[in-house]
Structures are given as structure tokens and as C-alpha cells.
Amino acid sequence: DVKVTQSSRYLVKRTGEKVFLECVQDMDHENMFWYRQDPGLGLRLIYFSYDVKMKEKGDIPEGYSVSREKKERFSLILESASTNQTSMYLCASSTGTLLTGELFFGEGSRLTVL
């Protein structure tokens, strides 16, 4: 059973703080993704990675960066948190091609920036 684990379920941070969101998957998947989920906007892709040390910008990368030093771990970094980054963050992983494959999601990390 694929497991995607996001270490922090709820975080409260102050404006300007550096925030790390960690995601680990245990199925040796090559592909990993970070989305943010907002009511009325659905899921928007922030960054993705198809291999270790590889990263590509998604649709809304501004204000975020990522790190993939190991295959199983994909970290999302907010260098200087702002209130408009208050959101639910979802990590996902998959194997093979996205065109027929399935994304496996974590439970989400709800971030509040004050």
C-alpha cells in the first residue's frame, strides 16, 4: 500500500519566517509533486520532480522552492512566509508516465501564516 507522509499536519507561522514542509513516500516512486489546495481554486501545481536532484516549476512557483536530495523525500520551502501563502499543501507521488498513472496523495499540511 503506497504511503505518502507529510510530517506536519498543522503549522502556524509568522510573516517572514522560513517554513519547511516535508514529504516522504515509501514506494520508490520517481515522480513527486507539491500542490496547494484552496477553496474555489482547486489544486494548483507549485513544483514537481521526476528524479533525484531534479525540479521543475509548476504553475505557481513564486515564493516557493523545493529540494529533492533523496528519491523518497521532497521538501517544500517557503523562504519568507506571507499571509497569502496560508493554505492546504498536498504532496503526491507517482510512478511511470502521468498520462496513465495515478497520483498518491499525502494527508496534507495546513499552513496558517499570521
Partner 1 sequence: AQRVTQPEKLLSVFKGAPVELKCNYSYSGSPELFWYVQYSRQRLQLLLRHISRESIKGFTADLNKGETSFHLKKPFAQEEDSAMYYCALAGMFSGGYNKLIFGAGTRLAVHP
In the bound state with partner 1, the residue whose beta carbon lies nearer, of 84 and 97, is 97
Give the torsion sign (CA, 38, 42, 43, 45).
negative
CB 25 within 8 A of CB 32: yes
Q: Which of residues 6-65 bind partner 1 (CB under 8 A)?
A: 33, 35, 40-45, 48, 50, 56-59
Using DSSP bridges, classify how beta strands 73-78 and 10-13 pair: parallel, antiparallel or unpaired. Answer: unpaired
In the bound state with partner 1, the residue whose beta carbon lies nearer, of 16 and 51, is 51
Q: Which of 78, 106, 109, 111 contacts partner 1 by CB under 8 A?
A: 106
CB 33 within 8 A of CB 56: no
Query: Contact positions toward partner 1, by CB under 8 A?
Result: 4, 33, 35, 40-45, 48, 50, 56-59, 90, 92, 97-100, 102-103, 105-108
